[in-house]
Amino acid sequence: MIERKRWTVGELTRYVRQLFETDYRLQDVEVEGEVSDIRMPGSGHAYFTLKDAEAQLRCVMWRSDVANQVYLPQQGDRVLVRGRMGVYDVQGQYQLYTQRIQPAGQGDLHAQFERLKAKLQAEGLFDADRKRPLPPLPRVIGVATSASTAALQDVLNVLRRRYPLAQIVLAPTVVQGDQAPPQIVAALNALNNQSDVEVILLVRGGGSLEDLWCFNDERVARAVENSRLPVISGVGHEIDFTLADFAADLRAPTPSAAAELVTPITAADLAGHIEALRQQLAGHLQQTVDSRRRVLQEAGYQLRQASPRGRIDNLRQRIDGLAGRVEQAARQQTALRRAALQGTRRALDAISPMKTLARGYAIVQGADGQVLRDADDAAPGSALHIRLYRGRLSATVDRQETDHD
Amino acid sequence: MTDESLTFEAALEELESIVSQLEAGDMTLDQTIQLFERGQELAARCETILSEAELRLETLQTSAGGTYSRISMTDETGDE
């Protein structure tokens, strides 16, 4: 019986590594593939996977080589890589130690994606005017994703923090592989059949291009576009764009972001709004009370204005004014009269009988005081009073001589 | 007091309508006080709902015949 050699894991791994290192063909290889799962941690080294339809190849590029690269590949890029094959003992993995990467045209999947995208775009599936408005305060939010995944937990955490008023209806579906497209379509239909659901989140956590591929399925894109309810997509990471994203009413870069976009108004915003309304209420009450108080003050002022005291004061003043005017008018009238009197006196003097009497005429009056002009008026024997220029005489009529014709 | 079954949306809507009524003016002092008190109740109702709100989660499950029923997630984990 031949003694079989017993290896330790380390020994066997080292042996395999030596096989790689002694095969000259593996020490300088060029390989074409699609970049997937590229990571560049703080160390500065780059780790990625090259893929094609059949296989995957782990690659590492040390920091010093990364520094020489003008072009840094992104997820999905079709590249031509040059390096040497080796084994990483610690993880028992063979990998390509990459010295140079250059673009090699676009990957097959990418070309397929672009063709389908162009077709759906031509049909108008992605048109801006087909995007529906989102409910500002959704009461029931549908979520189509895989149950018990980090993506779902992210969504629930964000919603719990931002908007715990909401009710979530989960439509579970696988979000990877061949079964995913029909299941996603079914989940969207199921949510659309719920009468109370107002908006749908279609989400999935990050993954490789292949992992996310179901969201580029034509059936999924069409189901998103045909959805009765508005759909917010949040698939993969910021850099991942899928056809479902283009067909959605709103594209979120991640599941968490989708949960934020579906709740534009948070519970904290609402609490602030209600506090503001409270203050407005109090303000209006205060305003009403103030305005009534002003009316009251105004009425009091007007009442005082209407008081008879003021009127009496006014009248008193008016009377004072009138009295002054009366006095002045009287003074004026007196002066006028005095002047008139002097005039009259002068006129009177001019026609006074005294002047006539001085010339020797006399005025004869009867007993009754009547001035006599006719002899008939004084019977013989009656008394006469005769007025001279100076003094008076009393006489008796002796005889009458009339001048009758 | 406000009705305990009043939803947040309904309470908020009524509260906003009260504030706009007050804004429009033309109220007697009595009416203003009445609206103010109602508004205070509604604001308190909204605040209660906000502070007590807890996210509810239900899962759609396919039943026989292709219809869906909803299972509350908390109930489900309680049963298992």
Per-residue pLDDT tens digits for A215-263: 999 999 999 999 999 999 999 887 778 999 999 999 999 999 999 999 9
Closest chain B residue to A143 measured between Cα atoms? Answer: B59
**Strand A199-204 relative to strand A140-145: parallel, antiparallel, unpaired?**
parallel
Coil/strand/helix, residue B30 = helix
ipTM above 0.95, yes or no: no
Burial A171-195, CB ≥16 within 10 A → b, else e? bbbbbbeeebbbbbbbbbbbbbebe
How confident is the model over A169-191, as a mean pLDDT? 93
Q: Which of A227-236, A241-250, A364-373, B37-46 has the lowest mean pLDDT?
A: A364-373
Closest chain B residue to A168 measured between Cα atoms? Answer: B57
- % of residues, chain A, pLDDT over 70: 97
* B44: pLDDT strictly greater than 60: yes
* B14: pLDDT strictly greater than 80: yes
Calculate how close chain B gets to A267, using CA atoms only, in Å. 7
Residue A327: CB atoms within 10 A of its CB come to 10
* B23: pLDDT strictly greater than 90: no
- Segment of A181-190, A236-245, A315-324, A346-355 carrying the highest mean pLDDT: A181-190
* A277: pLDDT strictly greater than 60: yes
Arithmetic mean of pLDDT over chain B: 82
Is residue A81 left, alpha or beta, with left meaning phi > 0 and alpha meaning psi from -120 to 50? Answer: beta
For residues A69 and A52, the answer to whether their CB atoms sit within 8 Å is no
H helices present in A163-216, as ranges: 180-192
* B80: pLDDT strictly greater than 50: no
Question: What pLDDT score does A387 carry?
Answer: 87
Residues in chain B within 8 Å Cβ distance of A165: 8, 49-50, 53
Tokens of B24: 């429009």
pLDDT in tens, A128-138: 888 999 998 89
Tokens of A118: 């162009």
Closest chain B residue to A193 measured between Cα atoms? Answer: B68
How confident is the model over B46-72, as a mean pLDDT? 86
Question: What pLDDT score does A267 carry?
Answer: 93
User: Which of A187, A194, A270 lies nearest to residue B50, judging by beta carbons?
Assistant: A270
For residues A234 and A214, the answer to whether their CB atoms sit within 8 Å is no
User: Any idea what the Cα angle at residue A390 is, between residues A385 and A392, rounded to 5°?
Assistant: 20
Question: What pLDDT score does B1 carry?
Answer: 58
Residues in chain B within 8 Å Cβ distance of A282: 36
Q: Show Cβ contacts of residue A29 under 8 Å, excluding neighbours closer than 6 positions.
A: A82, A83, A84, A85, A96
For residues B15 and B23, the answer to whether their CB atoms sit within 8 Å is no
pLDDT in tens, A96-111: 999 988 887 545 667 7
* B77: pLDDT strictly greater than 60: no
How confident is the model over A48-65, as a mean pLDDT? 93
For residues A223 and A184, the answer to whether their CB atoms sit within 8 Å is yes
Q: Show Cβ contacts of residue A284 under 8 Å, excluding neighbours closer than 6 positions.
A: B19, B22, B23, B32, B36
pLDDT in tens, A60-83: 999 988 887 767 888 888 888 999
Cβ distance of B50 and A277 shorter than 8 Å: no
- % of residues, chain A, pLDDT over 90: 48
Query: Which amino acid, A294?
Result: R
Q: Show Cβ contacts of residue A49 under 8 Å, excluding neighbours closer than 6 positions.
A: A35, A36, A37, A38, A56, A57, A58, A59, A208
Question: What pLDDT score does A304 carry?
Answer: 81
Cβ distance of A190 and B60 shorter than 8 Å: yes
Tokens of A47: 């780790």
If one compares A356 and A269, the residue with the highest pLDDT of the two is A269
* Nearest in space to B36 (alpha carbons), one of B58, B11, B15, B8: B15
Residues in chain A within 8 Å Cβ distance of B46: 270, 274
* B3: pLDDT strictly greater than 80: no
Residues in chain A within 8 Å Cβ distance of B58: 167-170
Question: What pLDDT score does A108 carry?
Answer: 63
